[in-house]
Amino acid sequence: MRRFAALAFISVTVGSAAALRARPAALPADARIDRIVVTKSERVLVAYDGEREVARLRVAIGFGGAGPKRWEGDGRTPEGVYRIDRRHVSRDYHRFLHVSYPNEEDRRRYRALVASGEVPLDERGRPVGIGGAIGVHGTGGRDWVPRGLRSTLGCVMVDDEEARALYDAVVSDASIEIRP
C-alpha cells in the first residue's frame, strides 16, 4: 500500500510540474491587446482584443501575499485599474510593460498608512516611498519553475516568450486591471 501511495504521489507531483511547464498557445497573429485582467488569487493573466479573449497565461506575482501594495518593498502586487503607460526591452526581465501604479486610490491608502505610522522607516528615519517600478515582464532567461521563481518583488511575471508576445501585441495606453 505504501508503494502505491508513493507512486501516486510521484505521479501527481511530476504531472503538476509538467503542467506548470506547459506552454500556452501563442497569441493570434492579428491580436491587438487593449485590456489585460490579472487575478492574483488564481495567478492568471487574461488578455483581450476588444471583448475577444486572446490569451490566458499563468503568472507569478509579488511574494508579499494577499492585499494591495502598500509601500515600496512590501512585496505585494498592486490591485486596481491602471494603464500600460510605457515599455522597454530589459536586460533583467526581457520585455517590460510598465504599469501606471500608483493611482489616486493607492496614494490615498499610502498617506493613511503613513499617518498611522504603519509604513516602515528608511535609514534616514523617513517613511519608505510608495514604490512605482511595477510591470508585466519576463523572467530574463531564468527558468522560473524548477528554480522556484514563483514570485516577484511586486510585478506580474510571465515567461520570456509570453512577455515578447505581449510586448508586441499590447497597444499604447492599454488598461490593466489587477484583481485580488
Q: What is the pLDDT of residues 100-134, one digit of tens each?
A: 999 999 999 999 999 999 999 999 999 999 999 99
Domain coordinates in residue numbering, the chain: 32-179
Spatial distance between the Cα atoms of 5 and 8, rounded to a whole number of angstroms: 5
Encode pLDDT of 10-69 as tens digits.
333 343 344 344 444 568 888 899 999 999 999 999 999 999 999 999 999 999 989 999
5, exposed or middle or buried, with CB in 10 Å at 0-12, 13-18, 19+? Answer: exposed
CA–centroid distance for 133 within its chain: 12
pTM score of the predicted model: 0.82
Task: Determine whether domain 32-179 maps to CATH 2.40.440.10.
Answer: yes
Encode pLDDT of 137-174 as tens digits.
999 887 665 444 578 999 999 999 999 999 999 999 99
Sequence-ordered list of residues with C-beta below 8 angstroms from that of 10, at least 6 positions apart, any chain: none
